Homo-oligomer: A and B are copies of this chain.
Amino acid sequence: MTTTVATPLQPTDRTTVRRGKDRAATDREILHEVLRAGMICHLGVLMGDAPMVLPTAYGLDLDRGPDGTIYLHGSVAARSVVAAPDQTICVTVTHLDGLVLARSAFHHSVNYRSAVIYGVPRLVVDADEKLHGLTRIVDHLVPGRSHGTRAPNRKELAATAVLALDLTEASVKLRAEGANDEEVDLDLPHWAGVIPLRLVADTPITNPDCDLLVPAHIRTRSHTLGAPSDD
C-alpha cells in the first residue's frame, strides 16, 4: 500500500507516529477522507486524574480556520463537555477494515484507518456558529438532512453544547494490505489472508408514528452505505 504525501500535516511530538512509520500517512487529504467517512468519534477528556473516552457525533467544516474545524456534539450536562474547553482533548476516528490472519500469531493484525486530533477545543457560544456546527453534525450523519428536519429552537440550542477543534495537530495512520509473515513461516500449513469488514446500512425503518415515504436524502444515504435498493 502506498500513500502519496501531498500536504503534510503539522505533527507535534504527540502526533508523530513512532511505531510503523511506513503506515503513517501524513497527508491532509487522507485525514479528510477518514473524517468524512466516519460517523462517530471517540472523545478523550481528562476527568480528575483519569482519561474518559466516550463516543460522540461530529461534523466537519474544512473551510473554517487555517486547517479546518471538527465540531463535536454534546449535552451541556455531559461532564466531558464541561471539562473539555479547559484542556487538551484527543479525538479519534477509526474505521475497522479487516481482520488480518497470518501464519504466525505474532503477525496477526487488523486493516484500519485512524485519525487522531489533539487540541484545546472552543466551546461554541456564538449562536450563528452553534447552529452552523449543529447543521454540520446532522448533515455529516446524513447529507442534506438539515433541510429535511426542524431546526433547533432557542431552548434546544441552549441545551446543546458544541465544541470546535482545529484540525491542526492531527495524524492519520492506516493499514491496508494482506498478512505479512516471516519468510521462514511461508510453508507452514496455516492459512493466511484477510477477512474484509465494512459498516453497512440496512433498509431504513420508518418510525411507527410516521406515515411519510422515505425521502430521497435518506434513501441516498442508506444506498451509499450499502443498503439494498428498494425502489
Q: Which residues of A contact B (CB under 8 A)?
A: 14, 18-19, 39-40, 42-55, 57, 75, 77-79, 87-92, 94, 96, 99, 101-106, 108, 110, 112, 114, 116, 118, 134-135, 138, 141-142, 145-146, 148-153, 156, 159-160, 178-179, 181, 185-186, 188-210, 212-215, 218, 221-222, 225, 227
Contact B50–A88 (Cβ < 8 Å): yes
> What chain B residues lie within 8 Å of A202 (beta carbons)?
195-198
Within the complex, the shortest CB–CB distance from A116 to chain B, in Å, comes to 7
Question: Interface of chain A, helix or strand or loop or mixed?
Answer: mixed
Cα–Cα distance between A19 and B52 once the two chains are bound (Å): 15
- How many copies the complex holds: the figure is 2
Contact A213–B196 (Cβ < 8 Å): no
Cα–Cα distance between A126 and B227 once the two chains are bound (Å): 47
Contact A94–B207 (Cβ < 8 Å): no
Cα–Cα distance between A202 and B43 once the two chains are bound (Å): 29
Contact A196–B191 (Cβ < 8 Å): no
Cα–Cα distance between A159 and B104 once the two chains are bound (Å): 14
In-complex Cβ contact of A197 among B201, B208, B209 (8 A): B201
